[in-house]
Structure 1
Amino acid sequence: MEFIEDDDGVAMQTPLRAILPRSTHNEDHEYHYHVNNFESHDESGFTASLVINVKAEDDAKKWMSEFAESSRTTWRVMRTCPTAKKYVLFKKIYRCHHGQQRRAKEGTSRHSKDTGCCAKLTLTVRRTVTQSGRKSKNSDPHIQTHPTLVKLEWKHNHVISIPAALKYRDASPETCAKLEELFKNGNSPASALNILELELQIQDPDKYVMNCADRSICPDLHFCYRLYHKIFRKAYGPADGADMVAAVDEKVIANYNKEAGMTCAKMIRSSTGELIIGICTPLMQRVHTLMTHSSELVFIDSTGNVDRHGSRVFLLLTHSSSGGLPLGVIITSNEQERTIVEGLQLLQTICPAGAFGGNGNDGPAVFITDDCTAERKALHAVFPQSVLLLCSFHLLQAVWRWLWDSKHGIQKHHRQGLFFHVKNMVYAEDATAVEAAFESAISDPAVIRYPGYRAYINSLYERRQVWAQAFRIGLRIRANNTNNYAEAAMKVLKDSILQRSKAFNVPQLLDFMILCRFEGFYQRRLLSVVNQRPLKWNIQTHNRSKISKDDISKTGESTYEVTSQSDRQCHYTIDMAVGVCTCHEGITGGACKHQEAIVTHFKVASSNFLPTSAKERELLLKIATGCNDNVPSGWMDPLQSVEPMAEDVAEPRLQETALVNGHGDMQDRR
């Protein structure tokens, strides 16, 4: 229990009792007060002199912070008195922060919070024992038990507990700790403040109106940004400059490579002095060597606006039945061709010996990109044997934007018809149909009316091998004609990893976002497939095929023949080991209903569909974690004890002959 009394033993008046703190935050110490003097000044406030049972300097500072909280006021140090005297351990004079400590310069206006308040507090911790070891000779009878003296001049010329005053209070240490934890969890200053406000509203809806007005409990957005920069500047170094570059190499890359036990990241300066970082994490290296799809097809895309320096992030992924899987990340300071070339060459030095499914530095058979000239030229320079295809979606999007650009003068009612000419060429079934669609386009009166559009589609037609789907038959693109896997990965990077906020600097982007969170995200997605709980949005799902088992006949070790459901005279040939079908959808190795029927009726494993056997899921587990020792024996067993017959299971593998022939066809087409 606290004691507040004057010299005559009379209980102290309410104004002083209401503003004094009763105990410390952890309630391990209760404050006891003895009031020496109290004088009321009616409406202008009061003055008081009291002593407290506080004996150390740190405890006195703690009491001062708790007094500011209990009285809902903010104090600034007005003067620090010397402590050389043998009777004083600590002494400071504080002023209300609504009072100007120094006079404003002539010609400048005062701050909006400056009311000229003259409230003042003097805090003195007196020595109970002198430096010579003797007891203090101070005449105050309470000095031994209450050595701290407080002289308070409570003469505020402003109202204290209203929003106009509370909005200037300092954020409390508890509030700063909450914000710091939210920042470390990946929140931006704006999102952290939003979460803090939501928690305050949920915890006590009745008091939220008052709490949200108090800056010590609910700070403003500017404070959140300043705290954000202060925290990450300390953790990751300066926001830019040579020290920031040194922090990338010493604090992030070196430490990560040491923890991983291998070289997973490197940083170099380009020939023009640009910063280039290559990343191939352990999970990415396992995708290179264990996922055979990485030798067939790779998607590449870039994004910017990820940090405050305009860095570009290039992401390489491959296709799988579990969704797109990352193969590498390149961070550069620009998107110039020479910079991308050096970034790809740097990535080659980090990738494992069996990179790209065993192709090594030759790269994959096919790249699918958007129509970025610098990116495509850089890929051709580093991987000359690979075929560079253009994303069909990006091509059609570019045509549509060209038609809607007002400077080209295309009338609105002609745009759709002109667009369909290019669309017909994109989806034509063979090269002859592409040529026929082009001839139809250039002879259309609407096209003749716009010479600029005619020249535009002529330039497109010259590059038809890279965007027309008729020229992709026989290529192992697994029915992927767009760069959607890379687009989805960029959405993951910005939404789930960056959480729609910019990184503080390059070290934070590399450490906090790419190395820590990015790999963890894909590990969780792979484990969801391993545990047979895939998410539909990132897994290629399929509907149950209506093809009966009687319509399927086995013609070889891994080959089958399926009768068409629409034309009984038509038959499709399927090779489940290669994962191809003679139908339009499966001719490039994509999943089709005929392969699905074989998987359903014959229990054959296929890399085009979600893994059904324990062996397939064990491979994904190894890619995700690096080993299978962290799960108990029998973890992959099916719900029923009967396993598929061994002779009906065709393991997914690369067909060397088909792949080589496919690669040869690619070179001819290129």
Structure 2
Amino acid sequence: MQGAQRIATIPTQDWLVSEERRRNVTHSNAGRWCPYRWAERGPTDDEHLVHVVPQGPAGTSELEVLRANLQDEGSACHWVEEYGLRTNTSWIVESVQSTARCQKMVLHKTWRCKQNARKKPSGSSGASCPAKIDIKIKKTNRHTKKNDAFLRRPSPLPAVIRLWHQEGHSHSTTSADALRRLGPATTTKETFVGYFEDAMSPAEAIRLHESKLLVQEGGFTLLANAALNPLPAAVYYWHRLWRQENFGKQVDPLDKLAEKMPTYEEQGIDVRLNRTKDGASWAVLVATPIMRRAQQLHAARELIFVDSTSSCDATHATVTVLLAATSAGAVPIAVLLHNAQTAEAYATAFALLKEAYPLCFGGLSAPGAFMTDNSAAEKAALRTTWPEGRQLLCHFHVAQAEWRWLTAARNNVEKDQRRALMTKFQQIMYATSVEGLNKAIEGLRGSSHEGYKARVEAFLQQQQGEWLLLCRADLTTRGHNTNNFAEASIRILKDIVLSRTKAFNAVALVESVGQVMEEYFKSRILKHANNRVSTHHLLYHSLLKRMPEEAAADIRVLGDGCFSVPSSSGNGEWYEVWGHTGLCTCPAGNSGAFCKHQALVHKHYGGLFPNCPALTAEDRHELGWLALGSECPSIDYFMASGDEVTPSQRASLARCQNGEPVACSSQDFPPEPAASPCQEEQPEQDALCDALPSTSGSQQQDRKDADDNLEALIAEMRKIHEAEWHKDSYRKHLTSASMRLQRLCKQQRGVGAIMAMNSALGLELRRGRTIKVQPTALSRRRPGLTKGSKRVPAGRPPNNAALKAARKRPHVLCRSVGANVPHAKMHGQGH
């Protein structure tokens, strides 16, 4: 068989761990792998294949000469790497001869075995390994073709490959230790760079890569091969290089951001930079497509939630989020990054937002109000940038600060005074009338702690318009008196966007916000738009249950979308409901929150009700536009069974297809229904009903039995009351049970109340039949065992540290106040 007919084909774009490669990796004892495979085929012009043939007769154990169609240094280096992968060897460059003035060669390069490293101790493994690879690439011209038959072929083979001592490695190439010493392959590095591009940390990338290798055939050997499964040091080094290339230096990242701004613009992410003249403060604005669409919503006009955090990257840059409330929760209208939490830094960031998007609050230059915590620097910057916007303090943060002041030892507040002073402060904060406010203030002035009285008096004089509920009566807050939306968004940023891992610098934060955060909000909004969240219907029906059914017949239609609804408690009070604006004169709906009176009107008369939790097809289409923009489907896609869309709604939603927001126009209420024939004949029907028996005989017997059982239950309760009324615990639980029963009756859950009572009585009967242990036995029990009166189960007690460890106090302010203990801190110094 002639050499010209024996053509070897080696694909240059193989996957590192392909089945073919693993089959070709053999060793000296089983037949050494040859860098060419004989095939009865002729030459091919496929540029992705390397053709290798022997130059002459079969080589010796010391030298083997091959010819190949390698054209340049890149293809030669790739062939050497492929050869090393198939033979479990690694090669490093020993010498490169200059060919700049050479007329016959393109390249002359020599590799030696990686184990034969310079300055390696003589006793080390492979210190004197003689294996080498020498590659010369000849030029193909009329002069070189004269003396070389391989260059005269239709597919020339200009590369001369000399393999020295390939069977004479002075070290093992099959053991796990030898595989560990291999150098990582180029494709392996590219795979890990892809992991880093997918926002994986080095540790996450290593775990994923190892799991992918382990599920393949011979996975345990692939894990030992450093060419396919690199050592952690190499992975972390690649990550540092990738991070520096993509994010720049850790300090002063604005240069890298300016360099990547065209890339962000192609992705639809608007990134703006700003720096003060002296360079002391810098700010970055990030506005994704969803954020820019949220700026056009009507909700952005009413109330904007603002919060900041500075523990998201290694440089401690501050992230400030501005959010608007929607039916799918809070959605950011912008994210600002700045280098400090000073008034100057905040002002620089807010000025950047105002300059880039002057009408970002639903088409207005400023919202109705900003909801913040009591950060002096943040509030001063907001006042400077948007002086026409009112500022409100989060009620939770205000109450939390007061309770921590009362429980601080330096303030010398007696423990038995703390709860009384806190109650008086809460009466001031939640007063709903001027008379109630004055009465609460007088009550606080009558207390004996002068320091706390002076603190509250100063707070009232300086900021009463920001934290008193009475001062918010003229604002449409939709029932939002806390900054919970902003607090939840910060947790989303840390838990989901950053996976509780600090970013490298501000550039990494910008990319996380622009990609991961954008995808999260798109997915969350689409869940609501696709009607996959049951909370809306549950909240709507829970409000309806709080109104008696007969109250619907007493609703008075006042005209122009206004209704008069009776109180559910039957005290003779009436509340006016305006459906166009979503307001009610009751305490809950006075600020725009959706109350039970609005729910009753909405069920029987319909209407707009912008804050109604039950989403209509128009609401879901608006959410779809918010998430998808111009790619949002038509409103028919979001319609549920039984939904109908009026022509006026279709006209307003047609603008959404052109990239405009859904207009918050009012919707006319249907006119008051005229008297139906059934209503006109009501007296006759009443007379007929009086003549007929109301119930059947069996129903009358059931009613009599139920009445008898009720009388028996009341009689037994009276006996218990006569015997136990003098006990404090009895009176306490009686008051609590009475209040709970009233709430259950208002919610029309009487059957559930009886079921719970029956279950509790059965449990008490079972507990009464048990034989309790002696009190002395309880005193002898070790820590960690139950303190109840039951006997300890037989056997060795569990040795669980969790049973003995003290439980952490819950981060719930009302529980801390009720237990009269200091409030638990979640993070930071002033939270």
TM-score over 0.5 (shorter chain): yes
TM-score (norm. length: structure 2): 0.63
2:633 to 631, 634, 639: 631
Q: Distance in 2 between matches of 1:414 and 1:152?
A: 91
Decide whether the 8 Å contact of 2:247 with 2:508 is kept in 1: yes
- Structure 2 residue aligned with 1:667: none
3-state SS of paired residue (2:607): coil
- Is 1:71 the equivalent of 2:94? no
Letter in 2 for 1:74: S
- Structure 1 residue aligned with 2:602: 599
- Structure 1 residue aligned with 2:206: 193
- Structure 2 residue aligned with 1:97: 114
3-state SS of paired residue (1:357): coil
Decide whether the 8 Å contact of 2:556 with 2:563 is kept in 1: yes
- Structure 2 residue aligned with 1:348: 354
Matches within 5 A, 1:1-150: 14-15=28-29, 17-18=31-32, 20=34, 28=49, 35-38=58-61, 48-56=62-70, 57=72, 58-83=74-99, 90-102=107-119, 116=127, 118-125=129-136, 127=138, 132-136=143-147, 147-150=160-163
The structure-2 alpha-carbon separation of the partners of 1:80 and 1:133, relative to structure 1 and needing over 3 Å to count, comes to closer
Displacement of 1:292 = 1.8
Superposition RMSD on alpha carbons, in Å? Answer: 4.5
- Structure 2 residue aligned with 1:284: 291
Identity of aligned residues (%): 23
Letter in 1 for 2:593: G
Displacement of 1:300 = 0.8
Displacement of 1:188 = 2.9
Q: Distance in 2 between matches of 1:15 and 1:90?
A: 34
- Is 1:249 the equivalent of 2:258? yes
Output one character per residue of 1:371-408: Cα deviation in whole Å (capped at 9) or x when no partner: 21100111112222222111122233444555666766
Matches within 5 A, 1:240-639: 240-241=251-252, 244-252=253-261, 256=264, 264-273=270-279, 274-289=281-296, 291-353=297-359, 355-360=360-365, 363-399=366-402, 401-402=404-405, 422=425, 425-430=428-433, 460=459, 463-510=463-510, 512-534=511-533, 542-544=540-542, 545-546=544-545, 547=547, 548=549, 549-550=552-553, 552-567=555-570, 569-610=572-613, 612-627=615-630, 631-632=633-634, 634-639=636-641
- Structure 2 residue aligned with 1:9: none
Letter in 2 for 1:530: A
Q: Distance in 2 between matches of 1:654 and 1:460?
A: 40
Displacement of 1:427 = 4.4
Decide whether the 8 Å contact of 1:310 with 1:333 is kept in 2: yes
TM-score (norm. length: structure 1): 0.76
Output one character per residue of 1:523-547: Cα deviation in whole Å (capped at 9) or x when no partner: 444444333334859x995444223
Gaps of 5+ in 2: 1-5, 9-25, 39-46, 151-155, 653-662, 668-831
3-state SS of paired residue (1:572): strand
Q: Distance in 2 between matches of 1:123 and 1:356?
A: 70
Q: Distance in 2 between matches of 1:536 and 1:222?
A: 48
Q: Distance in 2 between matches of 1:97 and 1:422?
A: 76
The structure-2 alpha-carbon separation of the partners of 1:134 and 1:239, relative to structure 1 and needing over 3 Å to count, comes to same
Q: How many residues are treated as equivalent by the alignment?
A: 609
- Structure 1 residue aligned with 2:823: none
Output one character per residue of 1:618-645: Cα deviation in whole Å (capped at 9) or x when no partner: 4444444444x75357434442365689
Q: Distance in 2 between matches of 1:120 and 1:413?
A: 87
The structure-2 alpha-carbon separation of the partners of 1:264 and 1:146, relative to structure 1 and needing over 3 Å to count, comes to closer
Q: Distance in 1 between matches of 2:495 and 2:538?
A: 21
- Is 1:227 the equivalent of 2:238? yes
Q: Distance in 2 between matches of 1:339 and 1:184?
A: 31
- Structure 1 residue aligned with 2:783: none
- Structure 1 residue aligned with 2:813: none
The structure-2 alpha-carbon separation of the partners of 1:219 and 1:422, relative to structure 1 and needing over 3 Å to count, comes to farther
Output one character per residue of 1:17-50: Cα deviation in whole Å (capped at 9) or x when no partner: 34556679x9955766675222xxxxxxxxx322
Displacement of 1:272 = 3.5
Displacement of 1:591 = 2.0
Decide whether the 8 Å contact of 1:605 with 1:612 is kept in 2: no
3-state SS of paired residue (1:327): strand
- Structure 2 residue aligned with 1:181: 194
Letter in 2 for 1:95: R
Decide whether the 8 Å contact of 2:617 with 2:635 is kept in 1: no
3-state SS of paired residue (1:567): coil
Decide whether the 8 Å contact of 1:292 with 1:653 is kept in 2: no
Q: Distance in 2 between matches of 1:13 and 1:280?
A: 59
Decide whether the 8 Å contact of 1:74 with 1:96 is kept in 2: yes
Decide whether the 8 Å contact of 1:299 with 1:368 is kept in 2: yes
Q: Distance in 2 between matches of 1:23 and 1:404?
A: 83
Decide whether the 8 Å contact of 1:402 with 1:408 is kept in 2: yes
Displacement of 1:297 = 0.7
Q: Distance in 2 between matches of 1:535 and 1:218?
A: 46
Decide whether the 8 Å contact of 1:302 with 1:315 is kept in 2: yes
Letter in 1 for 2:494: K
The structure-2 alpha-carbon separation of the partners of 1:634 and 1:542, relative to structure 1 and needing over 3 Å to count, comes to closer
Q: Distance in 2 between matches of 1:518 and 1:130?
A: 59
The structure-2 alpha-carbon separation of the partners of 1:219 and 1:487, relative to structure 1 and needing over 3 Å to count, comes to farther
Decide whether the 8 Å contact of 2:282 with 2:348 is kept in 1: no
Decide whether the 8 Å contact of 1:270 with 1:342 is kept in 2: yes
* Larger mean Cα displacement after TM superposition, 174-183 or 515-524: 515-524
The structure-2 alpha-carbon separation of the partners of 1:469 and 1:540, relative to structure 1 and needing over 3 Å to count, comes to farther
Letter in 2 for 1:631: P
3-state SS of paired residue (1:640): coil
3-state SS of paired residue (2:165): strand
Output one character per residue of 1:79-137: Cα deviation in whole Å (capped at 9) or x when no partner: 22445777765443333434431479xxxxx9x99874535323233649787233447
Decide whether the 8 Å contact of 2:105 with 2:136 is kept in 1: yes
Output one character per residue of 1:195-241: Cα deviation in whole Å (capped at 9) or x when no partner: 3233334x33x744443343333334443343234335444555555
Letter in 1 for 2:609: S
3-state SS of paired residue (2:587): coil
Letter in 2 for 1:559: C
Q: Distance in 2 between matches of 1:384 and 1:13?
A: 79
Decide whether the 8 Å contact of 1:266 with 1:278 is kept in 2: yes
- Structure 1 residue aligned with 2:814: none
